[in-house]
Amino acid sequence: MQALGRSKTKGKVPIYNEDEREGLRTAGRFNSQLMDFIRPHVQPGITTIELDRLVYEYTLDHGHTPACLGYKKYPNSICTSVNEIVCHGIPNR
């Protein structure tokens, strides 16, 4: 399946065909399973880089590629926010 980016419809609500909708459903199911997998690991003391590694391995093991990884040179599989960080933190130790 190819990416759903549609530069010609930027700013417009896209209309997806059935194959694209099925791709979205598949991605949604996988993301739900990924959240179920990672949730028990999010505990005091675990580092965000360790969470990143777990997500990376789980994603690859299930035949997928992390969406964030490599996007505009982003170096990790997840964006993390801990306590005082509002959003888009890069996992670290």
Query: If you average pLDDT over residues 6-27, what whole number do you get?
Result: 87
Quote the pLDDT of residue 84.
73
Q: Which two tokens stand for residue 11?
A: 């700013």
pLDDT(75) > 60: yes
Mean pLDDT of 31-55: 96
Residues 6+ apart with CB under 8 A from 81: 87, 88, 89
Average pLDDT over residues 47-68: 95
Cα separations in angstroms, 29 against 1, 16, 56, 68: 16, 18, 17, 18
Q: What is the pTM of this model?
A: 0.76
Q: CA–CA separation, 31 vs 47, rounded Å? A: 21
Higher pLDDT: 11 or 86? It is 11
